[in-house]
A and B are shown apart, each in its own frame.
Chain A
Amino acid sequence: MPPPVLAPDPTLALLLFGAFVVLGALGFWPKIGLFWRARRLARLTERVTLEDGLKHLVNCKLSGRTGTIESLGGALEVSRGRALKILSALAARGLVITDGVAVSLTPDGHTYGMRMVRAHRLLERYFADRTGIAPAEWHERAEREEHRISEAEADHLAASLGNPLMDPHGDPIPSVSGILPPASGVPLSGLAPGTAATIVHLEDEPREAYDRLRAMGFNPAVPVKVLESKPGVLRMLIAGVEQFLDPVLAGNVTVEPVTERETHTVLLQRLDSLPLGQSATVAQIAPMVQGPQRRRLLDLGVIPGTVILAEMSSPSGNPMAYRIRGALIALRREQAHGILISRLQLPAPAELMA
């Protein structure tokens, strides 16, 4: 019979275990763990810095501004001296020309920069359509990933996404040859009361502003209409829903005025507000519902004009079961929230004209 093995002292074992857990947490806690910090630092190579610099200059050019050492330092969050070094490194590679103050791109620099812009916007489109990553993280992740994908990979990504034309913020994605359609639109803050417009672009920085706008339902292709403009507040319809907006935030939204259409003036509701046992007609699927989610709803027959009956509630009230074109389909609250409806009981649209 082998000698019996004795159990180690439990107190000591627990202490060792505790120490092990603390060490593990210090190293691998999401985002702030030492391992993740070290990895982030290791990724910030010379090439990444140069590419970021180049992209900044291209973005300046696209928005009609002139890139300077100061703007470069500001965008990359580095000192003036460091910005100067980056610039001379770019010049040495024949990508930019500096005349002391203003900086301009050479044709090679422009092509390289456009490639970065293309990769960035494609990645954002990918995150929006094919993953569950939160909208606020698209930009940041694309900033990281854009340096790692090759030109061929970007083309492959574009093909698999169906060669999208716009990124999820409404910015056009440059074609393979680096061509962009001209930018259009006016800032939302400049829209006169009573004017209807379609959102064409949403500035994704600063992040806090972007998050707030998204939360209110702002998104490219969403119809808006300014109802009333008072100091400090804009009363407006966003995809048919009445909301109040801080005019400062309105500066981050670019819109294109449109000729007035019915959808902008009818007060719309969302499907999740439809009481049990009542029916409504689908007005549209909210433009912020994109990719597979939108396709699924369309396949289920949720298209403008479809009559939907809220037939049954689950014990917790979420999901709800709706009668859609003959079939009983369960939808979660957030899905129902993405479907805009007009209630059959409401007065005719003409009476609701603002």
Chain B
Amino acid sequence: MTSVIAPPSAHCHGCAVHSPMAEMVQIGGRQDQWDYLVALAGNPNTGKSTVFNALTGLRQHTGNWPGKTVTRAEGLFTNHGQRVKVIDLPGTYSLQAGSSDEEVARDFLLFGRPDVTVVVLDATRLERNLNLALQVMEITGKVVICLNLMDEARRHGIAVDPGKLEQTLGVPVIPASARSGVGIKELQNAIHDVATGVRTTTPFRISKHPADVEAAIGALVPLIEAAFPGLPNPRWVALRLLNADERIEAAVKSGEIGVLSSATLDNFTHQSSPPAVLPPGSDGQTTLLTEVIAQRWKLSGSFHDTIMESLYATAQRIASEAVLVGVRKTKFNVDRTLDRLLTSRWFGFPLMLLLLMVVFWLTVTGANVPSAMIADVLIGKFHPMLNGIGTSIGMPWWLSGFLFDGVYLASAWVISVMLPPMAIFFPLFTLLEDFGYLPRVAFNLDGMFQKAGAHGKQALTMCMGFGCNAAGVVATRIIDSPRERLVAIITNNFSLCNGRWPTQILIASIFVGALAPARVAGLISASAVVGVALFGIVMMFASSWLLTRTVLQGEATTFSLELPPYRPPRILQTLYTSLIDRTLIVLWRAVVFAAPAGAVIWLISNIHLGGDSIAGHMVGWLNPTGILIGLNGVILLAYVVAIPANEIVIPSVLMLTVLTGHLAGGQGAGVMFELDSAQQVGDLLRAAGWTTLTGVSLMLFSLLHNPCSTTIYTIYKETGSVKWTTVATLLPVAMGFTLCFLVAQVWRLVAA
């Protein structure tokens, strides 16, 4: 939070420097210099991000707000030779700072001191959207209204009069249809005019609250003006103080709020030094704060309600003056018809399952060919080539082994297994999201999740987890209730991620499929894999239920879910952003973690102590525990070294099996490998003493074990809590050990 309120000169570089670089993806353009700073505010689902994209094109950054798990996007455009930097604030319904999104937006408007604030309004929902615009105008007068979705409004037979709105609000109102680029140039010009002062604004402010509120404001405003002369919004500050806004109170105490007055009056340059700050605890401030407490005792408890009521009443009046509804009533309502179908009692669930199955099918089958191609190039061609180069330049065997067989091979493996499915899955998922279908899934399933104490949107983060748990954990940001978000984060690991599917499929076909006659073997092993995934969903519900009734009992909970209108998805935009924002970030993190794991695997296989490799010793120690729970020491060791990425479990298992069992085959100590057919893998594993029980136990353990280190790290970043990260890590391991143990004992009793 501190960097948000840094002085402008620091702020200029702050965005890139103070937030972790790993989180930032540079898309293009030098972003460290600008002439004007523009903030983009708006309700959720108003097409705000479309406006942002239309304004800035591809010159944007995404990252996090410092110290917050709120996504921050910023971009740049040039107009009249001036470089304009745009900060996309989180979409919020209000600025009461009730959630971290609102807090971020409010703090930036107040302390980030944008030169212009653009408020994006949905022309089809003017009244609701004006509520936010009015709140923004209470804070800052330098506002431009972007009246977006004019085309959609026309389709719904709603006509809005921008001139009338402009006259009432006292700030420029630019009608636009950002999707088709209409009005964007005009918006850029209006921003320029307001920023340079060519056009002055006279922002509309609510001047009539109920008498008791007005009396309290009247008592405070002179004191505020005395303590901070020249403050542009004393009435708003008074209201926030009466509402016991902790942040504003702190700003009054520290004198920080005084900075605002000089800044807005002088139209400061960004290079200037920050204005002097009042010494804290001066007389004016103390008198003010004492008076605030006195006034608060006089006001009724429903003060906050009263304020919201006057805001909405005003918004309603302004909207009704500017909107002409029902010019042309549409006969056929597409949205309602689609909704009836997609959320109906009979078709809702089957349609949902069908859609999800199509997405998974496209992912699994579509990924096979590119995966094999990447593996062929990176592992089949580059790896021997690198080794060849190493030999030719006389590299010692341990160095080339460490670098190429360890670090390189593990990274190459992760990329070839992970990249193609994610590059297919995430864009498909984002398209469904863009279209507006995913909120309907959450709506359909909320009844079930509610019973487990969770949020319907957890269905979406869970589906995302089938692609990648780390991405699923980040996706929980859509859940705005703290308790439900934690539940979704902790239980995301029960979604069988894309790194674990290959293990499941291989082991099922070797050990489960082999039990059935050859002609149904494929079907049986496929059902076994689906069975494990479904069991994961059952465990997700069970542990959500358990968590909300035990450790998470006391966390706060609120539910809200907006079902936005259906909109045609923007395909190219989606492909681009989902590749950049989701796929590449996740892949990068995975490689960062997998490379050292490759090194460790190579080292423990090649360093010998007392006649055996370190790996050999560790397998020996882990064997008794492994056998007890139906697995073996090799599998446990593979899971220890493969914490960074589930993708390298099978290659590690194969390598360790050959190494410690002194069997024929393999590529050498510490060199992970895979075999061409499941048949060969099965022969090797059976020779090493694997039974059907080992296979079944491995499938269960692959579902129920700790999240990979990328996910653990992401959980820590998202929760900021060691406690919840530990719970999320240890809970599935404990479940996995217990379940495998029980299965093994019962299996042995029945088999004996």
Cβ–Cβ < 8 Å partners of B745 in chain A:
10-11, 13-14, 17
Stretch at the interface among A113-121, A125-133, A247-255: A125-133
Cβ–Cβ < 8 Å partners of A181 in chain B:
297
Known: A1-B662, A8-B628. A332 touches B559 (CB 8 A): yes
Of A8, A11, A133, the residue contacting B553 (CB under 8 A) is A133
- Assess whether A132 is in contact with B555, with CB atoms less than 8 Å apart: yes
Stretch at the interface among B210-218, B381-389, B446-454, B488-496: B446-454
Known: A160-B246, A315-B343. A326 touches B446 (CB 8 A): no
Stretch at the interface among B59-67, B123-131, B160-168: B123-131
Most A CB within 10 A of own CB, among B243, B245, B559, B624: B559
A10 vs B750: C-alpha distance in the bound complex, in angstroms?
Answer: 10
Residue of B nearest to A313 (CB): B343
- Assess whether B96 is in contact with A295, with CB atoms less than 8 Å apart: yes
- Assess whether B98 is in contact with A315, with CB atoms less than 8 Å apart: no
A33 vs B438: C-alpha distance in the bound complex, in angstroms?
Answer: 43
Of B293, B562, B741, the residue contacting A13 (CB under 8 A) is B741
B525 at the interface (CB under 8 A from A): no
A298 at the interface (CB under 8 A from B): yes
B443 at the interface (CB under 8 A from A): yes
Interface 1/0 per residue, A1-43 and B, CB below 8 Å: 1101111101101100100000000000010000000000000
A305 vs B305: C-alpha distance in the bound complex, in angstroms?
Answer: 13
B748 at the interface (CB under 8 A from A): yes
B498 at the interface (CB under 8 A from A): no
Total A residues in contact with B, Cβ cutoff 8 Å? 61
Known: A296-B560, A301-B312, A303-B309. A318 touches B447 (CB 8 A): yes
Cβ–Cβ < 8 Å partners of B446 in chain A:
314, 318-319, 330, 332
A4 vs B98: C-alpha distance in the bound complex, in angstroms?
Answer: 62
Interface 1/0 per residue, B351-394 and A, CB below 8 Å: 00000000000000000000000000000000000000000000
Residue of B nearest to A326 (CB): B125
Known: A295-B96, A316-B447. A162 touches B746 (CB 8 A): no
- Assess whether A315 is in contact with B312, with CB atoms less than 8 Å apart: no
Cβ–Cβ < 8 Å partners of B245 in chain A:
162
Interface size class for chain B?
35 or more
Give, as a whole number of angstroms, the nearest-CB distance from B106 to chain A. 13
Give, as a whole number of angstroms, the nearest-CB distance from A174 to chain B. 13
B94 at the interface (CB under 8 A from A): yes
Give, as a whole number of angstroms, the nearest-CB distance from A321 to chain B. 6
Cβ–Cβ < 8 Å partners of A304 in chain B:
309
- Assess whether A325 is in contact with B127, with CB atoms less than 8 Å apart: yes
Residue of B nearest to A1 (CB): B662
Known: A165-B301, A298-B308, A329-B563. A316 touches B125 (CB 8 A): no
- Assess whether A296 is in contact with B98, with CB atoms less than 8 Å apart: yes
- Assess whether B746 is in contact with A329, with CB atoms less than 8 Å apart: no
A7 vs B312: C-alpha distance in the bound complex, in angstroms?
Answer: 71
Interface 1/0 per residue, B24-39 and A, CB below 8 Å: 0000000000000000
Of B293, B312, B558, B661, the residue contacting A303 (CB under 8 A) is B312
A166 vs B296: C-alpha distance in the bound complex, in angstroms?
Answer: 12
Most B CB within 10 A of own CB, among A2, A127, A311, A318: A2
Most B CB within 10 A of own CB, among A5, A8, A318, A335: A5
Interface 1/0 per residue, B581-625 and A, CB below 8 Å: 000000000000000000000000000000000001000100110
A221 at the interface (CB under 8 A from B): yes
Residue of B nearest to A324 (CB): B128
Residue of A nearest to B619 (CB): A2
- List A residues 263-307 near B (Cβ within 8 Å): 285, 291-296, 298-301, 303-306
Known: A10-B744, A162-B246, A328-B563. A5 touches B623 (CB 8 A): yes
Known: A132-B555, A159-B249, A314-B446. A292 touches B98 (CB 8 A): yes
Cβ–Cβ < 8 Å partners of A221 in chain B:
301-302
- Assess whether B296 is in contact with A335, with CB atoms less than 8 Å apart: no
- Assess whether A10 is in contact with B748, with CB atoms less than 8 Å apart: yes
Most B CB within 10 A of own CB, among A14, A295, A335: A295
Give, as a whole number of angstroms, the nearest-CB distance from B299 to chain A. 9
Residue of B nearest to A292 (CB): B558
Cβ–Cβ < 8 Å partners of B724 in chain A:
none
Residue of B nearest to A6 (CB): B627
B48 at the interface (CB under 8 A from A): no
Give, as a whole number of angstroms, the nearest-CB distance from B360 to chain A. 22
A319 vs B345: C-alpha distance in the bound complex, in angstroms?
Answer: 13
Interface 1/0 per residue, B142-161 and A, CB below 8 Å: 00000000000000000000
Interface 1/0 per residue, B430-457 and A, CB below 8 Å: 0000000000000110111010000010
A48 at the interface (CB under 8 A from B): no
B483 at the interface (CB under 8 A from A): yes
Cβ–Cβ < 8 Å partners of B556 in chain A:
130-132, 291-292
A316 vs B449: C-alpha distance in the bound complex, in angstroms?
Answer: 11
- Assess whether A300 is in contact with B93, with CB atoms less than 8 Å apart: yes
Give, as a whole number of angstroms, the nearest-CB distance from B318 to chain A. 13
- Assess whether B128 is in contact with A325, with CB atoms less than 8 Å apart: yes
A318 vs B445: C-alpha distance in the bound complex, in angstroms?
Answer: 10
- List B residues 660-712 near A (Cβ within 8 Å): 660-662, 689
Give, as a whole number of angstroms, the nearest-CB distance from A13 to chain B. 5
Cβ–Cβ < 8 Å partners of A132 in chain B:
483, 553-557
Give, as a whole number of angstroms, the nearest-CB distance from A248 to chain B. 29
A353 at the interface (CB under 8 A from B): no
Residue of A nearest to B242 (CB): A162
Give, as a whole number of angstroms, the nearest-CB distance from B657 to chain A. 12
A206 at the interface (CB under 8 A from B): no
Give, as a whole number of angstroms, the nearest-CB distance from A272 to chain B. 14
Interface 1/0 per residue, A146-165 and B, CB below 8 Å: 00000000000001111101
B207 at the interface (CB under 8 A from A): no
Give, as a whole number of angstroms, the nearest-CB distance from A62 to chain B. 18
Interface 1/0 per residue, B331-350 and A, CB below 8 Å: 00000100110011100110
Known: A159-B249, A325-B125. A330 touches B443 (CB 8 A): yes
A10 vs B627: C-alpha distance in the bound complex, in angstroms?
Answer: 11
Give, as a whole number of angstroms, the nearest-CB distance from B559 to chain A. 5
Cβ–Cβ < 8 Å partners of B2 in chain A:
none
Cβ–Cβ < 8 Å partners of B616 in chain A:
2
Cβ–Cβ < 8 Å partners of A305 in chain B:
313
Cβ–Cβ < 8 Å partners of B456 in chain A:
319, 330
Give, as a whole number of angstroms, the nearest-CB distance from A76 to chain B. 27
B304 at the interface (CB under 8 A from A): yes
B752 at the interface (CB under 8 A from A): yes
A220 vs B565: C-alpha distance in the bound complex, in angstroms?
Answer: 39
B550 at the interface (CB under 8 A from A): yes
- Assess whether B244 is in contact with A163, with CB atoms less than 8 Å apart: yes
- Assess whether B93 is in contact with A163, with CB atoms less than 8 Å apart: no
B749 at the interface (CB under 8 A from A): yes
- Assess whether A162 is in contact with B244, with CB atoms less than 8 Å apart: yes
Residue of B nearest to A15 (CB): B745
Cβ–Cβ < 8 Å partners of B662 in chain A:
1
Give, as a whole number of angstroms, the nearest-CB distance from A142 to chain B. 13
Give, as a whole number of angstroms, the nearest-CB distance from A173 to chain B. 11
Known: A130-B556, A165-B297. A330 touches B447 (CB 8 A): no
A346 vs B661: C-alpha distance in the bound complex, in angstroms?
Answer: 82
Give, as a whole number of angstroms, the nearest-CB distance from A193 to chain B. 28
Residues in chain A within 8 A of chain B (CB atoms): 1-2, 4-8, 10-11, 13-14, 17, 30, 127, 130-133, 159-163, 165-166, 181, 221, 285, 291-296, 298-301, 303-306, 311-319, 321, 325-332, 335
Q: 4 smallest A-B Cβ distances: which pairs?
A: A162-B244, A316-B447, A326-B125, A10-B745
What are 23 A-B pairs at a CB distance below 8 A?
A7-B748, A10-B745, A11-B745, A131-B556, A132-B553, A132-B554, A159-B249, A165-B301, A296-B98, A299-B96, A299-B98, A303-B308, A312-B339, A312-B563, A314-B443, A316-B447, A318-B447, A319-B561, A325-B128, A326-B126, A328-B564, A329-B563, A331-B559
Q: A2-B616, A132-B556, A326-B124 given. 9 additional CB < 8 A pairs?
A: A165-B296, A294-B304, A295-B304, A311-B336, A315-B345, A318-B447, A327-B128, A330-B446, A330-B456
